[in-house]
Amino acid sequence: MAGFSPTDAALEGFRITKERPRKLLAAAIFMFLVSVLQVFIEVSMPDEARAALAALGSEDTLATGALLEALAILSPLLLLGLLIQSMMAAAIYRILLRGQTGSIRLFRVGPAEFRLMALALIYVVLFALLMAAITVVGFVLAAVASGLGEGVLVLVSFLCWVGAVALVIVLGVRLSLAPVITFDRDKLALFDSWNVTRGQFWRLTGAYVLMIALVILAFVVTILLFLPAAGIAVVITGGSFGEIFQIFAVPDEPTLAAYFQPLRVAYMVVSSLFSAFWYAVIAAPGAYAYRALTHGQA
């Protein structure tokens, strides 16, 4: 049975960013331009869309009707975000699967990106249906167990929760290569990943867990480096250290002047660089595993 090294797969994104710094820089510039676009969208956003965004970001659980209404209002923004993610993923796949070297042509909008978007939307619908089915089964089992005593009800509820989490994890890992397969085969590959990942669940899970742990570590290191440097800059210019944390929040009055303050721009630069690094690291393990399992290249 063909296999691959989970460690090498988890580190593939790190290797790309180290060996191809120009591509990382190109991706960072692209993400910075996206950030600037987001600022202009935020500033010019109508009140209706702003209210919908606030509703989605609130801690209160929205009713189904209110949730669907908010999603409908924000659908153009959500599709734009999905397009950006698809463009970044396709760029990584072009490097790893097709050996493309040009930095500019890596980021494009074409059939490959639209197929990745369609795949993501289909999976969102399928996931929602799966969650609905799990909820119905859980209610039925809870209703049956309620007549057998409180202890049985608690046990059944716990087992249902564990089973639902396990099912989502297994399906997520087994279908995780669908995006890279869709890109490589130039067609929507909804369930092709199931056959490719047969016998590879634990290798893939290990690769993803290690990758996530390393990304979290990289994020913490980035913040620990950025905050002291930003604090020194603020103090030197006569500000207070507490002003640093304001850059993580939406300004009270979303204007261009509020967003394009020096400290916020510096944060946008660092965030864009980390976003480029993030996309490379999360997209690379699947591409590495797929290449090893189907092309025999590790």
Instruction: Report if residue 89 sits inside a domain.
Output: yes
Instruction: Report if residue 46 sits inside a domain.
Output: yes
Instruction: Report if residue 180 sits inside a domain.
Output: yes
Instruction: Report if residue 221 sits inside a domain.
Output: yes
Residue 238's domain comprises 6-295
Handedness of CA 213, 120, 29, 26 (dihedral sign): positive
Instruction: Report if residue 138 sits inside a domain.
Output: yes
Instruction: Report if residue 165 sits inside a domain.
Output: yes
The whole-chain average pLDDT of the chain stands at 84
**pLDDT tens-digit series, residues 50-100:** 676 666 666 566 666 766 777 777 778 888 889 999 999 998 998 888 876
**pLDDT tens-digit series, residues 13-56:** 999 888 888 888 888 998 999 888 888 888 887 777 767 666 66
d(CA 227, CA 127): 38
d(CA 271, CA 284): 20
Instruction: Report if residue 1 sits inside a domain.
Output: no
Count: domains in the chain: 1
Q: Region 243-266: what's the mean pLDDT?
A: 75
Which pLDDT belongs to residue 282?
Answer: 93
Three-state secondary structure string covering the chain:
CCCCCHHHHHHHHHHHHHHCHHHHHHHHHHHHHHHHHHHHHHHHCCHHHHHHHHHHHCCCCCCHHHHHHHHHHHHHHHHHHHHHHHHHHHHHHHHHHHCCCCCCCCCCCCHHHHHHHHHHHHHHHHHHHHHHHHHHHHHHHHHHHHCCCHHHHHHHHHHHHHHHHHHHHHHHHHCCCHHHHHHHHCCCCCCHHHHHCCCCHHHHHHHHHHHHHHHHHHHHHHHHHHHHHHHHHHHHCCCCHHHHHHHHCCCCCCCHHHHCCHHHHHHHHHHHHHHHHHHHHHHHHHHHHHHHHHHCCC
**pLDDT tens-digit series, residues 195-223:** 999 999 999 999 999 999 999 999 999 88
| pTM of the model as a whole | 0.84
The answer on pLDDT for 104 being more than 60 is no
Instruction: Report if residue 24 sits inside a domain.
Output: yes
Which pLDDT belongs to residue 153?
Answer: 75
Cβ atoms of residues 292 and 255 within 8 Å? no
